[in-house]
Amino acid sequence: MAIEHDAAETIFDENDVVTTDDVPLLEVEGLTTSFKTEAGRLVAVDDIDFTVDSGETVCIVGESGSGKTVATESVTQLIKQPPGTIGGTVRFKGQDLMDLTEKQLRSIRGNEIAHIFQNPQEAMNHCYTVGWQITEAIQIHEDVSKKVARARGVDLLDRVGIDNASARFDDYPHEFSGGQKQRIMIAMALVGNPDLLLADEPTTALDVTVQAQILRLLNDLQEEFGMGILFVTHDLGVVAEIADRVIVMYSGKIMESADVFEIFERPAHPYTQALMKCLPERGGDQRGGIPGRLPNPTNPPDGCRFAARCEHATEDCEVGEQPPQIEIAPDHHVSCIYYGEGYDSSVVRDAELEAANAPETEANR
Amino acid sequence: MTEPILSVRNLKKHYPLKKGLFNRQVGAVKAVDGISFDIAPGETLGLVGESGCGKSTAATSIIRLEDPTEGEVVFNGGGRAGATRREDGTHPNDVTKFNKRELKRFRRDAQMIFQDPSSSFNPRMPVGDSVGELLQVHGMKNRAQRRAIVGDLLERVGLSADDYDRYPHEFSGGQKQRIGLARALVLNPDFIVADEPVSALDVSVKAEVLSLINDVQEEFGLSILFISHDMSVIRSVCDRVAVMYLGEIVEIGDTDEIFADPQHPYTEALLSSIPTPNPRIRGEGIELTGTVPSPSNPPSGCRFHTRCHKVIQPDQLDLEQEVWRRLLDFTQYVEKGEFDIDDIRETVTLDDEHDPTEEELKEQIRDEYDLPMTLTDASAEQVLNEALDNLVTDNEAAATEQLTSEFTTPCAETKPDYTTHGDGHRSSCLLHDEYAEAEVALSDD
Amino acid sequence: MATQKPTKFDQVDWDNLTGSGRFKISINMKLLLVTGVPVLLLGLYDHFLVGDREATFVRLGEDLGLSSQFEALGLDFNPTSVDILFVFTIFLFLWYLVLPLYQNMRMTKYYWKEFKRNRPAVISLIWLTIIFVGGVLGPFFVAMPEQDLFAAYQPPVFGSIDQVHVNQCVGEISDGRCQGTWEYPLGTTRGGQDVLAMVIHGMTVTMQIAFITTMIVAAIGITFGTVSAYAGGWVDEIMMRFVDIVLSFPTLLFFLLILYIYGAGLGMFILVFGLFGWGATARYVRSKALSVSEEEFVKATKISGAGTYRIVRRHVVPNTASSIITQLTLIIPGFLLAEAQLAFLGIGDTAVPTWGQAISSGRNAIDFAPWIVLVPGMALFLTILAFNFLGDAILDALNPEAEAESEK
Ligand SMILES: Nc1ncnc2c1ncn2[C@@H]1O[C@H](COP(=O)(O)OP(=O)(O)OP(=O)(O)O)[C@@H](O)[C@H]1O
Ligand code: SF4
Ligand code: SF4
Ligand SMILES: [Mg+2]
């Protein structure tokens, strides 16, 4: 472990652009984030692993409170410590971000890893013009004259689809609509030419029409810059629209991860299946949502976190740890005991759902 | 034919725009500009549209939280059924004309659920009192009885009677929304306006609250006006839908019909913007360009023409629809004076060092505004080319003149009427008019 | 039939529901009437019937034919009108601020839990409680400081002073220095007045200024602010312009003017500052009321059919209360400082033993008898600080929404 670590650091030190083919852009291992609360220690994210490659969009889905936001914010340690505590390794281009000082982190946050948030209103400073804020951001990252920074800012706004960028450059945030503000946030995130974009529900507060525009924009930008995107959402429609790979989270744990087609067409975990059944478009009939609620985060149950709401749960599900991640197909991991040795996985497989969503029937529709 | 419980006619709400020392009125924000619809007893009508299109204003005007500017809201619930118009044409059940006493009576029969669970309860009052207050206001003096009723109701919406004494901050958003429903129900109304009742809630909680609303509606035969910007929510709870754009209803009809076969281009775009949970079909939605124009100065003709992907071409032109849309967008920019040749010049200069030639500039313009290098229609190409010549020689006025006189659309001139597509399904688009005219012409033959 | 009242909402027959519309007086109001009215009557009696030189209670005893009983009980006080008003405000404070806290134990506990987190504020509260209790009860136990030239410049206990400054040392003299004694724990002034007694009587005045002025300001400010917010239109416009005038009114100069023409005591000070100090409060209340009435729960109440009075009384005012209390707490230091400054300049009411007077009386002796300035000075400083801390903490504690948000 430690040796691997050093090796990675050397690569980073020699040249921070070099990434060998086998080193993913972002590699998270054993990430655990907990908070001290009055009710005790709350483990919001519990020992999760995932990777994001360049040019790839990875979506984290899950109900509210499942730890999606905490997971993304732990990557660049945006979580306030204390009350938070972040453990595990987060390697970005081979470099463990956990080892960095706050100052180094700050330079990485703006430059190589950018964040966009759910609520553009809150993330912007209302006292300054949009142009001023962008110019400021550019000048923090690079030593350029005001004029050059301004030209670049206009260009960026134009790139993210603000009409008449030069005319609107000196407007204040409140003079833009919600969707435009989100575009501006994206422009600001692009200032440092990031290699990784962490987007936490960037379209949840927006109208569908605007959401469609933003998703398209992210896709275009990814094609243009080849960055990796870690996208948090609870909307499976959005997932289907942009994801290459999907991570399904529940109560701080990863339940299933696979590429987007596998997830939608052959959901293997009972939780993923339940999510799919909430979608009438995919032949689902569970209109009232999944019955029950998330377990208490300060005192999660033994065994599988989903057991209380799982229709296949047996006694074995309620002892020990969360079942291990089992690879059931290339790059398709599931955390459910039925995929382990000595169990019959066909019990949890939902043939009906898979048949309804097989790609060929889909095409027939 | 049964009498509708609520019938809205040509309802308008304009907010005056005031300016200056003496608060002179300099215009009006036409938040709701002439909407009409009926709601049948027991029916749920959805009102859907992008943010800022006037949904909430419509709600507050109908329930008379604000006084509408114009129009009529006839409410036939609560034992008012069967009333007929007076001789002077006014209706005795017209909510907009209710006096104080009638209005208080109306409050008992029509209630509202609000969007934001965190601000819709008085933080300094136990929720039970907030709900019970309605009973008190309407004359129930017996505290024990109020308590019993509210307790019973809290249980019916899935909470416990003991929650009476708890304060709003002690509940989750979903629970508060349940209490909000209890508050709306406590006077046993016939009609409820629900303004985005679940948009502040989580997906899983959302589904629970929606199914509760559904159950309650069935049990008590409520009529609901359900406002939401979320099409999937509308689809799961509404019998009929009205689609709003910039203060007007552009299409109204049965939910299933509208979702299966939207008639108005805006509805079509709205529906296709919903991301489908199918990774095999991606990016096929219709993209609406630009944003909703300001309601203080709505576009002429069809209000949607500044963004419509089906905007009609004049007879003499024959362009690809997409190109035509962009050409109109470009025309709009130039017309509004938002086009700046100096910016273009700067961009070209940055790219390579020498002074840009006119040809280069024109190319850059076409590039930036996504116009093809030559238009397929020769006459259009000629006009565009001349206009660009004028633009690069700083003759903006002439360019504007050329563009606006040539690239016009009937959509900007004529206000479309409603076309009926059978059984209460109406929409307002010139394309239908044309279609209808063509049909009429055929049958005349 | 009518005996069994329906307990389900859909069984209520609204059209036949006849509630007796009896006007109910709340317990708070009753208590205020029972306690406050006699006090006010006493005030009127004192003002109109009792002579300047007569002691109110002695005269009252005579008038009631109860002189002997009064004497036996030691009821020979001669309260000023300020004192009487003070007692009235205390009752108001008890029945409308402290009692509701008790009536609403659950919320109070919750507020207290929030408030407790703020250490300086808790200490401030303790300090102010001491000042309050000392101010209300102190004068009954500690006599007014009396001139005693033989006991001038006595040092505080554990302190000492060069013998040359004292006329007669009460304590021991060692090394040519007079040592302090427990007889004057905080020393004495040039006139031989006990500093401790001065501080205690100063507490009374401080609390009188704080309570009475604030009550006047609150009464005018809240009424003016809510009426303005709810009237809207040109009424609002005119009222707010009037507030502008009040705000720009040179209260201090006006007070000096009155002082020079008529002479003025503490009562006049309180009256003038109260009557001209409510501008900021009114404006603040108005903006708060406006923002609260934008909240959805006010709309919900409107939809319920409730009238404006009910909305304002039950929903708007309670929800502006926390910020109004904060604002009021934060303007008290201004009044205290103004009084101290006037006293220091020697243009206050010399008959009233305020802290400002005490500080002023010690300014010439600051180099050898610093306690005369320091002790009341510290008391004043700490009190002002305490009001400021308290104000901030109240705002945080009384705001359940903020808490709910942070919990999300
Ligand atoms: N600063 C904090 N202190 C204590 N607990 C926290 C903190 N931030 C988050 N949590 C807890 O961590 C858990 C996961 O929260 P998180 O915000 O990551 O959920 P989420 O999946 O992003 O939900 P949503 O869909 O609502 O955004 C929750 O139980 C939450 O209450
Ligand atoms: S481990 Fe058990 S409880 Fe968990 S998902 Fe599998 S079957 Fe359900
Ligand atoms: S009238 Fe024209 S602009 Fe309006 S919707 Fe129809 S086609 Fe589009
Ligand atoms: Mg989140």
CB-closest option in B119, B139, B185 to C297: B119
The three-class DSSP label of residue C71 is helix
> CA distances (Å), B77 to each of A86, B2, B8, B83, C342, in order?
59, 12, 14, 11, 69
Q: What is the mean pLDDT of residues B131-144?
A: 86
The three-class DSSP label of residue B285 is coil
Hey, which residues does B228 pair with through a beta bridge?
Answer: B48
Residue B250 confidence (pLDDT): 93
Query: Are residues B118 and C8, on separate chains, in Cβ contact within 8 Å?
Result: no
The set of chains that have 3 or more CB pairs under 8 A with B is: A, C
Most confident segment among A243-247, B47-51, B87-91, C270-274: A243-247
CA angle A214, A218, A224 (to 5 degrees): 140
> Among candidates B263, B266, B381, which has minimal Cα distance to B323?
B381
Residue A33 structure tokens: 């984030």
Q: What is the mean pLDDT of residues C61-86?
A: 79
Residues of C with CB under 8 A from a CB of B: 5-10, 12, 14, 17-22, 106-107, 110, 295-297, 299-306, 310, 314-315, 318-319, 321, 400-401, 403-405
Q: What is the mean pLDDT of residues B303-326?
A: 88
Q: What is the mean pLDDT of residues B16-29?
A: 71
Residue A21 confidence (pLDDT): 58
Query: Are residues B119 and C9, on separate chains, in Cβ contact within 8 Å?
Result: no
C-alpha B308 – ligand 3 centre gap (Å): 6
Residue C184 confidence (pLDDT): 77
Residue C55 structure tokens: 């002691």
A40-52 β-sheet, strand order: A40-52, A26-37, A84-92, A95-96
Radius of gyration of chain B (CA): 27
Q: Whose CA is nearest to atom 10 of ligand 1?
A: A44
C-alpha A312 – ligand 2 centre gap (Å): 6
Query: Are residues B123 and C400, on separate chains, in Cβ contact within 8 Å?
Result: yes
The residue of chain B with its CA nearest to that of C303 is B107
In order, the DSSP letters of A175-223 are GS-HHHHHHHHHHHHHTT--SEEEEESTTTTS-HHHHHHHHHHHHHHHH
Q: What is the mean pLDDT of residues B390-419?
A: 87
Give chain C positions within 8 Å (CB) of B120.
295-297, 300
Torsion angle of alpha carbons A14, A16, A22, A25, nearest 10°? 160
For residues B17 and B296, what is the distance between their CA atoms, to the nearest angstrom?
A: 8
Most confident segment among B361-375, B400-414, B431-445: B400-414
Digit-coded pLDDT (tens) for A231-243:
998 888 889 989 9
pLDDT band at B142 (very low <50, low <70, confident <90, very high): confident
What is the CB-side half-sphere exposure of residue A68 using CA atoms within 13 A? 27
Higher-confidence residue of C107 and A19: namely C107
Give residue B436's identity as a one-letter amino acid code.
Answer: A
Residue B1 confidence (pLDDT): 56
C-alpha A232 – ligand 4 centre gap (Å): 8
Instruction: Judge if the upstream peptide bond of residue A330 is cis by omega within 30 degrees of 0.
Output: no
Digit-coded pLDDT (tens) for B320-329:
888 898 889 8
CB-closest option in B114, B124, B139 to C318: B124
Digit-coded pLDDT (tens) for C221-248:
988 998 888 887 788 888 888 999 988 8
Query: Are residues B202 and A64, on separate chains, in Cβ contact within 8 Å?
Result: yes
For residues B396 and B382, what is the distance between their CA atoms, to the nearest angstrom?
A: 17
Contact (CB, 8 A) for A46 and A87: no
Query: Are residues A235 and B333, on separate chains, in Cβ contact within 8 Å?
Result: no
Residue A11 confidence (pLDDT): 37
Q: Find tokens 């907030």 and name the residue.
A: B130
What is the CB-side half-sphere exposure of residue B260 using CA atoms within 13 A? 7
For residues B11 and B72, what is the distance between their CA atoms, to the nearest angstrom?
A: 6
Q: Whose CA is nearest to atom 6 of ligand 2?
A: A336
Q: Whose CA is nearest to atom 2 of ligand 1?
A: A35
pLDDT band at A218 (very low <50, low <70, confident <90, very high): confident
For residues B135 and B130, what is the distance between their CA atoms, to the nearest angstrom?
A: 10
Residue A213 confidence (pLDDT): 81
Residue B159 confidence (pLDDT): 87
Give chain A positions within 8 Å (CB) of B283.
216, 219, 241
Distance from CA of B170 to the nearest CA of C (A): 8
In order, the DSSP letters of A22-67 are TS-SEEEEEEEEEEEETTEEEEEEEEEEEEE-TT-EEEEE--TTSS
C-alpha C294 – ligand 1 centre gap (Å): 30
Query: Residue A10 pLDDT > 50, yes or no?
Result: no
Residue B19 confidence (pLDDT): 66
Q: Which CATH class is domain A5-247?
A: alpha beta
Q: Is the CB of A309 under 6 A from ligand 2?
A: no
| Interface TM-score (ipTM) > 0.85 | no
User: What are phi and psi for residue A229, nearest 5 degrees?
Assistant: -125, 130
Query: Are residues B107 and C7, on separate chains, in Cβ contact within 8 Å?
Result: no
For residues C223 and C289, what is the distance between their CA atoms, to the nearest angstrom?
A: 11
By most ligand atoms within 8 Å of CB, the mutation choice from A248, A302, A338 for ligand 2 is: A338
Q: Find tokens 């096929």 and name the residue.
A: B284
Residue C106 confidence (pLDDT): 77
Residue B8 confidence (pLDDT): 93
Contact (CB, 8 A) for A52 and A91: no
Contact (CB, 8 A) for B310 and B320: no
Residue C342 structure tokens: 């006037």
The set of chains that have 3 or more CB pairs under 8 A with A is: B
Query: Residue B445 pLDDT > 60, yes or no?
Result: no
Residue A4 confidence (pLDDT): 42
Ligand nearest the Cα atom of residue A343: 2
Give 3-state DSSP helix, strand, coil % of chain C, rounded to 5: 70, 0, 25
Distance from CA of A261 to the nearest CA of B (A): 6
For residues C107 and C125, what is the distance between their CA atoms, to the nearest angstrom?
A: 19
Span A251-364 CATH architecture:
3-Layer(aba) Sandwich (3.40)
> CA distances (Å), A149 to each of A154, A192, C56, C273, in order?
9, 12, 80, 55
Residue C372 confidence (pLDDT): 80
Give chain B positions within 8 Å (CB) of A208.
229-231, 270, 273-275
pLDDT band at C113 (very low <50, low <70, confident <90, very high): confident
C-alpha A69 – ligand 1 centre gap (Å): 7
Q: Is the CB of B269 under 6 A from ligand 3?
A: no
Give chain C positions within 8 Å (CB) of B116.
296
Ligand 1 contacts (CB < 6 A) are A 35, 37, 42, 44, 62, 64-70, 83, 234, 297
Residue A363 confidence (pLDDT): 44
Query: Are residues B134 and C7, on separate chains, in Cβ contact within 8 Å?
Result: no
C-alpha B298 – ligand 3 centre gap (Å): 14
Ligand nearest the Cα atom of residue A74: 1
pLDDT band at B267 (very low <50, low <70, confident <90, very high): very high
pLDDT band at B74 (very low <50, low <70, confident <90, very high): very high
> Among candidates B303, B271, B277, B290, which has minimal Cα distance to A210?
B290
For residues B325 and C33, what is the distance between their CA atoms, to the nearest angstrom?
A: 76
pLDDT band at C2 (very low <50, low <70, confident <90, very high): very low
Q: Find tokens 């032949």 and name the residue.
A: A283
Nearest ligand 2 atom to alpha carbon A271: 5
pLDDT band at B227 (very low <50, low <70, confident <90, very high): very high
- Residue A306's H or E segment, with its range, is none
The residue of chain A with its CA nearest to that of B289 is A213
Q: Which of A166, A169, A207 to mutate to test the interface with B (most CBs of B within 10 A)?
A: A207
The set of chains that have 3 or more CB pairs under 8 A with C is: B
Higher-confidence residue of C124 and C159: namely C124
Q: What is the mean pLDDT of residues B229-243?
A: 88
Q: Domains plus CATH for chain B?
A: 1-120+186-299 (3.40.50.300), 321-408 (no CATH)
Distance from CA of B20 to the nearest CA of A (A): 20
Digit-coded pLDDT (tens) for A131-167:
888 888 888 777 888 878 888 888 788 777 776 677 6
Ranges A5-19, B108-122, B138-152, C387-401: which has the least confidence? A5-19
For residues B197 and B394, what is the distance between their CA atoms, to the nearest angstrom?
A: 53
Contacts of B73 (CB under 8 A, 6+ apart): B6, B7, B8, B9, B11, B61, B62, B64, B94, B95, B96
By most ligand atoms within 8 Å of CB, the mutation choice from A68, A70, A201 for ligand 1 is: A70
Give residue B274's identity as a one-letter amino acid code.
Answer: I
Q: Whose CA is nearest to atom 24 of ligand 1?
A: A64
CA angle C254, C225, C327 (to 5 degrees): 75
* Domain boundaries, given as residue ranges, for chain A: 5-247, 251-364
Above pLDDT 90, what percent of chain B? 20
Contact (CB, 8 A) for A17 and A111: no
> CA distances (Å), B84 to each of B80, B89, B95, B96, C300, in order?
10, 10, 14, 16, 31
User: Rounded mean pLDDT of chain C?
Assistant: 81
Residue A364 confidence (pLDDT): 41
Residue C18 confidence (pLDDT): 58
For residues B84 and B232, what is the distance between their CA atoms, to the nearest angstrom?
A: 38
Q: Whose CA is nearest to atom 19 of ligand 1?
A: A65
Give chain B positions within 8 Å (CB) of C400.
123-124, 167-169
> Among candidates C225, C337, C342, C343, which has minimal Cα distance to C286?
C225
pLDDT band at B265 (very low <50, low <70, confident <90, very high): very high
For residues C271 and C277, what is the distance between their CA atoms, to the nearest angstrom?
A: 10
Query: Are residues C8 and B149, on separate chains, in Cβ contact within 8 Å?
Result: yes
pLDDT band at B23 (very low <50, low <70, confident <90, very high): low
Radius of gyration of chain C (CA): 26
Give residue C204's identity as a one-letter amino acid code.
Answer: T
Q: Is the CB of A196 under 6 A from ligand 2?
A: no
Contact (CB, 8 A) for C363 and C373: yes
Query: Residue A20 pLDDT > 60, yes or no?
Result: no
Residue B350 confidence (pLDDT): 62
Digit-coded pLDDT (tens) for A302-313:
889 888 888 888
Contact (CB, 8 A) for B239 and B255: yes
Contact (CB, 8 A) for B270 and B383: no
Domains A5-247 and A251-364 alike in fold: yes
